Amino acid sequence: MTTTERIFARIDNRRDELVALARDLVRVPTVNPPGDAYAACAELIGRRLAARGFQVEYPRAEGTPGDSAGHPRVNVVARIEGAAPGRCVHFNGHIDVVEAGSGWTVDPFAGTVRDGRLYGRGACDMKGGLAAAIVAVEAILEQAERWPGALEISGTVDEESGGFGGVAWLAERGYFSPPRVDHVIIPEPLNVDRVCLGHRGVWWAELELRGRVAHGSMPFLGVSAIRGMGAFLAAVEEELYPKLDARRTRMPVEPPGARVSTLNYNSLHGGLAENYSGLPSPLVAEACRLVLDRRFLLEENLDDVKREIVDLVKRVVRDRPGLSWSIRDLMTFHPTMTEETAPVVRALDAAIERVLGRRPSHIASPGTYDQKHIARIGRLHDCVAYGPGILELAHQPDEFVVIDDMVASAKVMAAAALSLLGA
Ligand SMILES: [Zn+2]
């Protein structure tokens, strides 16, 4: 048997242990916000890896959004050195999950196993993937002799809220840069036979229009911010949406409907506060606020993305005396995409073909994930997402991961890591 075959056999033998690890991770309710039980989850991973010879650290991102004594942003980073110097392969998984929400038919934090699936919040996104990566690395340690380089596993926080207390904070401190790390695989749920090269960019902003209050029976004495916003929305419908729909990207975004620029309105509010009691008062709306979610492409430039919105706002305001505007950035992430010829992509492609017997597809994600921080802050571009979960199940009620997919992805990750290490 070759080393790789021995590792595959080892992973098959440890199927139940892999399920138990994923179940144990699901049972720690790391709900974000507010960021519950991060330390407990980090320690569950860290204790296990320390017992297998890893050097384990628990870096806490003090002072990042949400960090407090009650909700410390505790990450775990574990590293083990091989027999000779060489390259480092890092597996990064976020340990936070979104709230369970309603519609569940099983306990979201019990880790129920049924019909070849593990159910629970985070089973798919992405504790199943993280457990598969851990078991893959452990199988390498048990079955490969004298491998060169280093292997790292991290469990990081706050991915669901932008990653500021997790990967971004660690990347700022050199955890995701050469020479410490050379290749990164993020086992996000993107389906077991697909390699995700990157993601679109995002610009969130709040547009506020301000007019002048007046009595609702004499609206001509005021300036309605809501009517101003209506004019802006009409201009977007007529002019901007057709342009965005026509702007196609070379990024292989899945689903294909997201291979264009998109704009969503996250919220719109004008006039009287929504939670008044009794009857509303007759007022011309003084203010109206719109939260925009603009997803942009590798081929677009953030300044241009902002300018085309601002130009429309300016034109609407110019035609309406007494109306003023302001726009506030809420969050910005640039698009990122690893080249298809990068070592990590080739290693995963070959491993997927070997394990699953089918050709992998290359995709990009419509939304962002922690790869942006590794590329932008860590300046490490040999990074992709690959993991066992089914993308469409992420954040849904009755989220699950298929156990066969966890096992297959553990083999893929082990074979890819071995080839990247040159073992
Ligand atoms: Zn995720």
370 Cα: distance to centroid of ligand 1 (angstroms): 9
Using the mean position of ligand 1's atoms as its centre, give its distance from the Cα of residue 160 in Å: 7
Ligand 1 centre distance from Cα of residue 266 (Å)? 21
Which CATH number is 201-333 given?
3.30.70.360
169 CA to centre of ligand 1 in angstroms: 17
- State in Å: Cα 19 to ligand 1 middle: 19
CA of 322 to the centre of ligand 1 (A): 45
Model confidence over 149-181: pLDDT tens digits? Answer: 999 999 999 999 999 999 999 999 999 999 999
Would the pTM count as exceeding 0.85? yes
Q: Give residue 188 CA to ligand 1 midpoint distance, Å.
A: 5
**What is the distance in A from the centroid of ligand 1 to the CA of 70?**
24
The answer to whether the CB of 366 falls within 8 A of the CB of 200 is yes
Tell me, in angstroms, the distance from the centre of ligand 1 to residue 401's CA. 13
Secondary structure of the chain in HEC code, one letter for each residue: CCHHHHHHHHHHHCHHHHHHHHHHHHCCCCECCCCCCHHHHHHHHHHHHHCCCCEEECCECCCCCCCCCCCCCECEEEEEECCEEEEEEEEEEECCECCCCCCCCCCCCCCCEECCEEECCCHHHHHHHHHHHHHHHHHHHHHCCCCEEEEEEEEECCHHHCCCCCHHHHHHCCCCCCCCCCEEEECCCCCCCEEEEEECEEEEEEEEEECECCECCCHHHCECHHHHHHHHHHHHHHHHHHHHHHCECCCCECCHHHCECEEEEEEEEECCCCCCCCCCCCECCCEEEEEEEEEECCCCCHHHHHHHHHHHHHHHHHCCCCCEEEEEEEEEECCEECCCCCHHHHHHHHHHHHHHCCCCEEEEECCCCCHHHHHHCCCCCCEEECCCCCHHHCCCCCCEEEHHHHHHHHHHHHHHHHHHHCC
* Six-digit token string for 109: 């934090």
Flag whether pLDDT at 73 surpasses 90.
yes
Q: Find, among 216, 229, 158, 138, the residue nearest to 411 by Cα.
A: 138
Query: Which strand ranges, in their side-by-side order, compose the sheet holding 201-210?
Result: 262-270, 287-296, 201-210, 324-333
State the distance from the centre of ligand 1 to the C-alpha of 158, rounded, in angstroms: 10
Cα 55 to ligand 1 centre (Å): 25
Distance (angstroms) between ligand 1 centre and the Cα of 419 equals: 26
Q: How far is the CA of 329 from the centre of ligand 1 (A)?
A: 24
Cα-to-centroid distance, 303 and ligand 1 (Å): 28
CA distance 131 to 279: 55
Task: Tell me if 37 sits within 8 A of 95, measured CB to CB.
Answer: no
Q: pLDDT tens digit string along 225-255?
A: 999 999 999 999 999 999 999 999 999 999 9
pLDDT of residue 161: 93
pLDDT in tens, 182-200: 999 999 999 999 999 999 9
CA of 94 to the centre of ligand 1 (A): 7
- Whether residue 273 is predicted with pLDDT greater than 90 in this model: the reply is no
CA of 340 to the centre of ligand 1 (A): 22
Instruction: Show me where the domains of the chain are located.
Output: 3-198+335-421, 201-333
pLDDT band at 1 (very low <50, low <70, confident <90, very high): confident
Contacts of 216 (CB under 8 A, 6+ apart): 281, 282, 283, 284
CA of 423 to the centre of ligand 1 (A): 30
pLDDT digits (tens, 9 = 90+) for 87-144: 999 999 999 999 999 999 999 999 999 999 999 999 999 999 999 999 999 999 999 8
CATH, domain 3-198+335-421, list 3.40.630.10, 3.30.70.600, 3.40.50.300, 2.102.10.10: 3.40.630.10
Distance CA 78, CA 359 (A): 32
The rounded Å distance from CA 221 to ligand 1 centre is 51
CA of 369 to the centre of ligand 1 (A): 7
d(CA 42, CA 33): 17
**Cα–ligand 1 centroid distance for 148 (angstroms):** 30
pLDDT of the residue at 278: 87
Ligand 1 centroid from CA 368, angstroms: 9
More confident residue, 392 or 209: 209
Question: How far does residue 124's CA lie from ligand 1's centre (Å)?
Answer: 8
* Residue 125 CA to ligand 1 centre (angstroms): 5
What pLDDT, on a 0 to 100 scale, did the predictor assign at position 399? 97
Ligand 1: distance of its center to the CA of 314 in Å? 38
Question: In angstroms, what is the span from residue 228 Cα to ligand 1's centroid?
Answer: 38
Distance 208 CA to ligand 1 centre (A): 32
Residue 207 has pLDDT above 90, yes or no: yes
The whole-number pLDDT of residue 415 equals: 98
Q: Ligand 1: distance of its center to the CA of 2 in Å?
A: 34
Mean predicted lDDT score pLDDT of the chain:
97
CB under 8 Å to 81, separation ≥6 — which residues? 150
